[in-house]
Amino acid sequence: MASNSYFKVFFSLILFSVMAMTVSAQVGKYDSKMVEFKKQDSISPPKKGMVLLIGSSSFTKWTDVQSYFPDHSILNRGFGGSTLPLLIAHSEDVIFRYKPKQILVYCGDNDLLRASPQHVLEDFQTLYFLIRERLGKKVNITYVSIKPSPRRKRNMQKTEETNRLIEAFLNNEKNTGFINIYDKMLDNKGDPNQELFLKDNLHMNAKGYKIWQGAIAPKLK
């Protein structure tokens, strides 16, 4: 019994070390993107009190997001391929250099390729409390649920569990929100709606973003 417990601890430490090295190796990959963000800021300095979008490619590819929410000032700082650990690693460049009134987070989709739902929750909690420590309680933190996609259909159960865990956590925190886009992107059979996606079966087309617009708009501050 004791040897079995030792094995589990040993295996967990190895897994943690491998994931840490993977994240460390990926951080530098996005340095040029951070430089690009700084250049954009120098050309057009972001206003205080905007809605800040952070996370992975579903935000990155939403290049015309401002036109979907004309009554709000939107700043999109998503970067494709990001995970929660990478978002934390680049938090100075994509979060803390700004003074948002609300932060929308879309991240976790890529994480589930390697991590468990519980691990994704813990990484999100790390990000959440880091934001609270640096920006205080007045900033609203809203999580956009991980979407279902045809390409990652095998991950649907893990996606649903992760969404439930994060929603439950946020329900006990003040000045937060959870936006469920998952259910809205399923067809009548309960599968990812193919009509909402590009040919890669992962990223969304205009129909997909229209659904996001309807779900996100009532939650904007």
Is residue 25 one of the residues assigned to a domain? Answer: no
3-state secondary structure of 52: strand
Is residue 19 one of the residues assigned to a domain? Answer: no
Regions of the chain short of the pLDDT cut 50: 1-25
Is residue 177 one of the residues assigned to a domain? Answer: yes
Alpha-carbon distance of 146 to 120, in angstroms, equals: 11
Is residue 16 one of the residues assigned to a domain? Answer: no
Is residue 10 one of the residues assigned to a domain? Answer: no
pLDDT of 12: 40
pLDDT of 11: 44
Alpha-carbon distance of 127 to 141, in angstroms, equals: 10
Please provide the DSSP assignment of 120-165 as one string: HHHHHHHHHHHHHHHH-SSSEEEEEPPPP-GGGGGGHHHHHHHHHH
pLDDT of 33: 86
Alpha-carbon distance of 158 to 153, in angstroms, equals: 10
pLDDT of 80: 86
CATH of the domain at 43: 3.40.50.1110
Encode pLDDT of 127-177 as tens digits: 999 999 999 999 999 999 999 999 999 999 999 999 999 999 999 999 999
Alpha-carbon distance of 90 to 95, in angstroms, equals: 8
- Are 149 and 202 within 8 A, CB to CB? yes
Residues 6+ apart with CB under 8 A from 85: 19, 23, 111, 123
Alpha-carbon distance of 59 to 106, in angstroms, equals: 7
Is residue 21 one of the residues assigned to a domain? Answer: no
pLDDT of 69: 97
Number of domains in the chain: 1
Q: What angle do CA 84, 87, 93 make, to 5 degrees?
A: 170
pLDDT of 91: 93
pLDDT of 73: 96
Is residue 24 one of the residues assigned to a domain? Answer: no
Which structure tokens are listed for 28? Answer: 């530098």
Is residue 124 one of the residues assigned to a domain? Answer: yes
Residue 59 belongs to what domain range? Answer: 31-219
